[in-house]
A and B are shown apart, each in its own frame.
Chain A
Amino acid sequence: MNYAVLAFILFAIGAVAVLTRRNAIIALMGVELMLNSCNLALVTFARMHGDITGQTVAFFVMVVAAAEVVIGLGIIVSIFRTRRSASVDAPNLLKN
């Protein structure tokens, strides 16, 4: 049960990081934190129910997170190259 509460707190920290920080790297770190909190919750629930489905899903989440980081970092780097900034608010060219 404590693990579930920890996972909730971690998720909240991650979410706030994503919502408030302007730097894309930090935001990405927030996303990672949220994913990890999810993993923690999944593993915890798997343990609580004596079912390995949660652990399996956690494994998938890790794979997806790794892939996401690769793509996310790629996007951030290319944005940084063209605009000399890693802010998430600056690239709003698609607006309108």
Chain B
Amino acid sequence: MTTNAIAATGNVELIWLAVAIPLVSAGILLLAGKGANRWGHWLGILASLGSLVIGVMAALDLLGQDSSNRIQEHILYEWIPGGDLDVALGFRVDPLSITFVLLVTFVGTLIHIYSVAYMEKDRDRRRFFAYLNLFVASMLLLVLGNSYLVLFVGWEGVGLASYLLIGFWNQVPEYATAGKKAFVMNRVGDMGMLLAMMTMFASFGTVSFDGVAGAAGGASEGVLTAIGIFLLVAACGKSAQFPLQAWLGDAMAGPTPVSALIHAATMVTAGVYLMVRSGFIFEGAPTAQLLVAIIGTITLIFGAIVGSAKDDMKKVLAASTMSQIGYMMLAAGLGPIGAAFAIFHLVTHGFFKAGMFLGAGSVMHAMNDEVDMRGFGGLWKHMKVTWVTFGLGYLAIIGFPFLSGFYSKDYIIEAAFVGEGWQPWVFGTATLLVAGLTAFYMSRLFFMVFHGKPRWSSEGPNAKHPHESPALMTIPMIILAIGSVGLGWFLDAGDRFVTFLEPVTGAVEHLEPVIPVPVIIGLTLTLVAIGVAVAYVMYVRNDVPAKAPAANVLVNAARNDLHQDAINENLFMRPGQWLTRGVDGTDRGLIDGLVMAVARSFGSVGRSIGKIQNGYARSYAGVMTLGIVVVVILALAARI
């Protein structure tokens, strides 16, 4: 697990191009101006495709190697040489990073293609593609960096790209605010990242993965726990985990391809990547590791509850993403047994969730950008391709047997049941129940959109004419749907993927869950079936009211994201504002007041002295005389 990297060979040396190409392309698109409007999007696709090709070449090279040679580093140049800290701009290619490279570039390219059609009528399409390319470059830098500092550059880069893309339609103040919210909440997490890096540097004198991994073995548990908790805070910010989760729902303000790329398949998974990548730290810090699992559990329940109550199609998907990433965090927090499954689920989730987001975009395309599911229904007749591709993604996420999600999620549930004491019972039960809840809220989404009676009309002022989206949009959806169906089976066959990840995550020990595996699978499937059945009765058999019906306190809370915004506002924002107001008051009253008082007193003295200078010769003479008299009196007094 702490194997040191070897120097890169062959195609792996070219991996830096995967970052450079989209970065250069983004630069060209941003600088080219309106002249590039006609071909800009194609350049964007080409850049993303170029990264994909390089990623595939490197991956093939890596697969050709012995598994002990699969961690390779390529140092580009000394980036920050000086003092005790030497940081090289280096790329680390290993099974974990190359998995991310393939996922990011593959899904990213599909989403680029989809965006050509989706953003066709937008006058800023070129800028959109520039940001997408910037995002791809940053994300690749994030996963390819060989030290925490290089990772951090990518980490900030995706944060920036996410901010730009969420607020892409910044002429709408609400959307601009959503972008800002995401940015600010991410900064809170980034503070954790910075603290982690500072602690590493202070304790180990290095921030490279190899260096930290080497030093972590001999470090005290306290230091490792501190670093682990700081890293967890960072991951919470980026991955929208409890308690920094509030931004993800609002981030749906961005164009739908952005939601698919950033908020489902790639950026929000960066936290999971960080957890798995830092496995060597959590290995020596059981407390921090347990905390990761607990945060994951809280978030997966939280997301599922919110997802069950939302009427906004994209926000349901966002809550679902939060919940699924909670699964991954929980798995990552279980140590080596879970880490590989976390990445497994991450990959399959990247496919089916991106597919569903694109499907949601396709539905919006057909329904005049409407997102309220209560206004949908019966769409399956009108958009067959979207229906089928979305349906496959839906079946994959609820864990329908032999689809992608079935494999990956089941492993996490099994892993959650492994352990001692109370942990397996709490974690395992939570994952099991949320599996049922996932089935319920995804079925709810699927049925409300595609089945039941149509709740829209093709006449009147709000006329809608649903139609299938153009091929540029449906083809990426079809490809992602194929991934949703087959990827899990393909990667699972012979434990292929888990074995591939072994050099990074460590060998998976085969521990027995506290409940036998077949029982777990049976329970999961039963709960999933119940979830689907309940949703069927509620949203297909019964009519869906056009307005959300009045509900009890719990449902209302869920509709309002469990009041997380209010909590944040009252707990952090208000005291912060009071603090700034207090500081401002002190500054104005005390500091400024003091300075101004001194200035004013000098001024009044000056003014009163100025009155003596009245220009009357006789008054001058009088003052002089008075002065002489005083001097004389003083002289006389001195003599006596």
Query: Which A residues have a C-beta under 8 Å from some C-beta of B?
Result: 15, 18-20, 22, 27, 88-89, 91-96
B622 at the interface (CB under 8 A from A): yes
**Distance of A92 Cα from B618 Cα, bound (Å):** 11
Docked-complex contact B616 and A18, CB < 8 angstroms = no
**Distance of A93 Cα from B238 Cα, bound (Å):** 75
Docked-complex contact A95 and B625, CB < 8 angstroms = no
Contacts of B621 in A (CB 8 A): 18-19
Contacts of B613 in A (CB 8 A): 95
Contacts of A20 in B (CB 8 A): 618
Docked-complex contact A89 and B625, CB < 8 angstroms = no
B518 at the interface (CB under 8 A from A): no
- Sort A-B residue pairs by CB-CB distance and give the 3 closest, nearest first: A95-B615, A92-B615, A88-B617
B614 at the interface (CB under 8 A from A): yes
Contacts of B617 in A (CB 8 A): 88-89, 91
Contacts of B622 in A (CB 8 A): 19
- Taking CB atoms and an 8 Å cut-off, the chain B residues in 600-640 that contact chain A are 613-618, 621-622, 625
Docked-complex contact B625 and A92, CB < 8 angstroms = no
Nearest to A22 among chain B residues (CB) is B618
Docked-complex contact B618 and A88, CB < 8 angstroms = yes
Docked-complex contact A19 and B618, CB < 8 angstroms = yes
CB distance from A90 to the nearest CB of B (A): 10
List, sorted by A's number, 17 A–B pairs whose CB atoms are closer than 8 Å.
A15-B625, A18-B618, A18-B621, A19-B622, A19-B625, A20-B618, A27-B618, A88-B617, A88-B618, A89-B617, A91-B617, A92-B614, A92-B616, A94-B615, A95-B613, A95-B614, A95-B615
CB distance from A9 to the nearest CB of B (A): 16
| Binary contact track B170-197/A, C-beta < 8 Å → 1, others 0 | 0000000000000000000000000000
Nearest to A93 among chain B residues (CB) is B615
CB distance from B443 to the nearest CB of A (A): 88
Contacts of A95 in B (CB 8 A): 613-615
Nearest to A94 among chain B residues (CB) is B615
**Distance of A93 Cα from B616 Cα, bound (Å):** 10
Contacts of A27 in B (CB 8 A): 618
Nearest to B610 among chain A residues (CB) is A96
**Distance of A92 Cα from B616 Cα, bound (Å):** 6
Interface size on B, residues (CB 8 A): 9
**Distance of A13 Cα from B615 Cα, bound (Å):** 24
**Distance of A19 Cα from B616 Cα, bound (Å):** 11
CB distance from A16 to the nearest CB of B (A): 10
Taking A19-B618, A89-B617, A92-B615 as known contacts, 5 extra A-B pairs with beta carbons closer than 8 A to each other, sorted by chain A number, are A15-B625, A18-B618, A19-B621, A22-B618, A96-B615
Contacts of A15 in B (CB 8 A): 625
CB distance from B147 to the nearest CB of A (A): 70
**Distance of A22 Cα from B617 Cα, bound (Å):** 10
**Distance of A20 Cα from B625 Cα, bound (Å):** 12
**Distance of A94 Cα from B616 Cα, bound (Å):** 10
**Distance of A27 Cα from B619 Cα, bound (Å):** 13
**Distance of A90 Cα from B614 Cα, bound (Å):** 12
Contacts of B614 in A (CB 8 A): 92, 95
Nearest to A21 among chain B residues (CB) is B618
CB distance from A80 to the nearest CB of B (A): 15
Q: Which of A19, A27, A96 has the most CB of B within 10 A?
A: A19
Nearest to B628 among chain A residues (CB) is A15
Nearest to A16 among chain B residues (CB) is B625
CB distance from B19 to the nearest CB of A (A): 71
**Distance of A92 Cα from B622 Cα, bound (Å):** 16
**Distance of A88 Cα from B332 Cα, bound (Å):** 98
**Distance of A94 Cα from B613 Cα, bound (Å):** 10
CB distance from A24 to the nearest CB of B (A): 9
**Distance of A94 Cα from B614 Cα, bound (Å):** 10
Nearest to B625 among chain A residues (CB) is A15
- Taking CB atoms and an 8 Å cut-off, the chain B residues in 101-158 that contact chain A are none
**Distance of A62 Cα from B616 Cα, bound (Å):** 27
Nearest to A88 among chain B residues (CB) is B617
Nearest to B617 among chain A residues (CB) is A88
Nearest to B614 among chain A residues (CB) is A95
CB distance from B629 to the nearest CB of A (A): 10
Nearest to A18 among chain B residues (CB) is B621
CB distance from A56 to the nearest CB of B (A): 24
Nearest to A30 among chain B residues (CB) is B621
CB distance from A71 to the nearest CB of B (A): 15
**Distance of A94 Cα from B620 Cα, bound (Å):** 13
Contacts of B616 in A (CB 8 A): 88-89, 92
**Distance of A63 Cα from B401 Cα, bound (Å):** 127
Nearest to B626 among chain A residues (CB) is A19
- Taking CB atoms and an 8 Å cut-off, the chain B residues in 517-562 that contact chain A are none
**Distance of A27 Cα from B621 Cα, bound (Å):** 11
CB distance from A86 to the nearest CB of B (A): 12
**Distance of A20 Cα from B619 Cα, bound (Å):** 9
CB distance from B616 to the nearest CB of A (A): 5
Contacts of A89 in B (CB 8 A): 616-618
Contacts of A93 in B (CB 8 A): 615
Contacts of A91 in B (CB 8 A): 617
CB distance from A18 to the nearest CB of B (A): 6
**Distance of A91 Cα from B618 Cα, bound (Å):** 11
Contacts of B618 in A (CB 8 A): 18-20, 22, 27, 88-89
CB distance from B337 to the nearest CB of A (A): 90
**Distance of A15 Cα from B632 Cα, bound (Å):** 15
CB distance from B210 to the nearest CB of A (A): 78
Contacts of B615 in A (CB 8 A): 92-96
**Distance of A76 Cα from B614 Cα, bound (Å):** 20
CB distance from B574 to the nearest CB of A (A): 55
**Distance of A94 Cα from B617 Cα, bound (Å):** 11
**Distance of A53 Cα from B490 Cα, bound (Å):** 126
**Distance of A89 Cα from B621 Cα, bound (Å):** 12
**Distance of A89 Cα from B622 Cα, bound (Å):** 13
Contacts of A96 in B (CB 8 A): 615
Nearest to B613 among chain A residues (CB) is A95
**Distance of A62 Cα from B625 Cα, bound (Å):** 22
Nearest to B629 among chain A residues (CB) is A15
**Distance of A16 Cα from B41 Cα, bound (Å):** 98
CB distance from B131 to the nearest CB of A (A): 63
**Distance of A65 Cα from B398 Cα, bound (Å):** 117
CB distance from B73 to the nearest CB of A (A): 79
Nearest to A31 among chain B residues (CB) is B621
**Distance of A74 Cα from B421 Cα, bound (Å):** 115
CB distance from A33 to the nearest CB of B (A): 14
Contacts of A88 in B (CB 8 A): 616-618
**Distance of A34 Cα from B197 Cα, bound (Å):** 88
